[in-house]
Amino acid sequence: MNDETGLVEVSQLRQALAQTEELDVLKEWRDQAETIRHYVRQRGGDYQKQNEAAEAKVRIERKLGQVLAGMAMQNGGDAMRARSHDVTEVPPTLADIGISKMQSSRWQLGAELDEDVFEGYIAKQWGDGNEITSADILKLAKKQERAEDIEEQMEDIAEHDFDPPDGLFDVIAIDPPWLYGTSYDPSGRRAANPYPEMSIEAISEIAVIEKAAEDCILWLWTTHKFMRHAYGLLDVWGFRDVAIVTWVKDRIGLGSWLRSQSEFCIMAVKGKPTVNLTNQSTVIHGPLREHSRKPDEFYQMVDGLCVGYKLDWFSREERNGWAQVGNDPGRFSE
Same structural domain for residues 173 and 47? no
Same structural domain for residues 140 and 15? yes
Same structural domain for residues 314 and 179? yes
User: Which one is predicted more confidently, 177 or 264?
Assistant: 264
Same structural domain for residues 216 and 121? no
Residue among 202, 50, 65 nearest 129 (CA): 50
Same structural domain for residues 128 and 274? no
Over residues 63-72, mean pLDDT: 88
Same structural domain for residues 33 and 87? yes
The answer as to whether 275 is a domain residue is yes
Same structural domain for residues 184 and 272? yes
Please say whether the beta carbons of 244 and 267 come within 8 A: yes
Domain stops at, among 148, 181, 215 = 148
- Tell me, what's the pLDDT at 5? 46
The answer as to whether 5 is a domain residue is no
Instruction: Say how many domains are in the chain.
Output: 2
Same structural domain for residues 129 and 194? no
The answer as to whether 164 is a domain residue is no
**Residue range(s) defining the domain that contains residue 84:** 10-148
Could you give the C-alpha distances from 93 to 23, 78, 98, 144, in angstroms and in order?
11, 10, 9, 30
Same structural domain for residues 109 and 256? no
Greatest mean pLDDT among 18-32, 33-47, 145-159 lies in 18-32
Same structural domain for residues 186 and 248? yes
Same structural domain for residues 128 and 194? no
Asked which of 43-57, 122-136, 257-271 is least confident by mean pLDDT, the reply is 43-57
Provide the CATH number for the domain around residue 226.
Answer: 3.40.50.150
For residue 187, pLDDT over 50 is answered with no
The rounded distance, in Å, linking the Cα atoms of 310 and 120 is 50
Strands (E), the chain: 169-174, 212-222, 240-249, 262-270, 283-286, 310-313, 322-325
Q: Model confidence over 217-246: pLDDT tens digits? A: 999 999 999 999 999 999 999 999 999 999
